Amino acid sequence: MNGDAAGGTDRVLTVPNLITSIRLGCVPVFVILLAKSHHSGWYPAALLLAALGATDWVDGYVARHFNQVSTVGKVLDPLADRLMLAVAAVGIIVVGAVPTWLAIAVLAREVLVAGGFVYVAAAGGRRMDVQLAGKAGTFGLMVALPLFLAGHANDDWHGAAEVLAWVCVAPALAFGWYAVVTYVPMARKAIAEARRERDGESQVPALSGPGGAVS
């Protein structure tokens, strides 16, 4: 049964993939707003980043609800999350709106997860599903980072925004790094399964002729 018959798993042009692509296209807009002088674009950048984080569930919901789950979407969605978090963390640390150690903790986690997924794929392992803890950590960071940015922007509630940012970032980091730990046995299992499959394919059974002689 092919991908289309099994629910369109091999399709590329789907509504969820379009939503994810739009979210990815907003990343340069965030950078442009962040680069404006005198912090004038920081508050709009914070709002945009918050919107991107809040809509993280939309593409997945549409894919499941309308039976448009695709292989491309399963790769593109977490890639979009990783890219947005990385760009947000780097951009916010460059402008000094978040502590350096915090940005490093976020970036290190993203590099480890992305590198692990690439390593498993290169080893021929099956694609690992995103863990719920990882999604929770990503969502928490996508809430905390714009709050840190708003906490240093020219708005009336910057003090409250920074307090809320710290409230959100602590559990987000805990969930995110817990997910990293849970990915390790999953990666080992995926790689071991891929090796067993390769070993099985390399052992071609001998063909027996009449009387049991090898032909």
Query: Is pLDDT above 80 for 137?
Result: yes
pLDDT of 5? 40
- Give me the mean pLDDT over the 125-132 stretch: 77
pLDDT of 173? 94
Query: Is pLDDT above 90 for 194?
Result: no
> Which domains are seen in the chain, by residue range?
15-194 (1.20.120.1760)
d(CA 134, CA 172): 9
- Give me the mean pLDDT over the 170-190 stretch: 92
At 183 the three-state DSSP class reads helix
pLDDT of 172? 94
User: pLDDT tens-digit profile of 30-81?
Assistant: 999 988 877 788 888 888 988 887 777 787 777 778 787 777 777 777 778 7
Residue with the two structure tokens 């969930």 = 175
d(CA 57, CA 104): 26
d(CA 188, CA 93): 34
Q: What is the pTM of this model?
A: 0.68
pLDDT band at 9 (very low <50, low <70, confident <90, very high): low
d(CA 103, CA 10): 36
d(CA 33, CA 213): 76
Query: Is pLDDT above 70 for 191?
Result: yes
Query: Is pLDDT above 60 for 139?
Result: yes
Dihedral angle, C-alpha 6, 21, 60, 122, nearest 10 °: 70
User: pLDDT tens-digit profile of 76-126?
Assistant: 777 787 788 888 888 888 888 888 888 889 889 888 888 888 888 888 877
Quickly list H helices, the chain. Answer: 15-34, 42-54, 56-65, 71-94, 100-122, 132-151, 158-202
At 208 the three-state DSSP class reads strand
pLDDT band at 10 (very low <50, low <70, confident <90, very high): low
Estimate to the nearest angstrom the gap between the alpha carbon of 167 and the chain centroid: 22
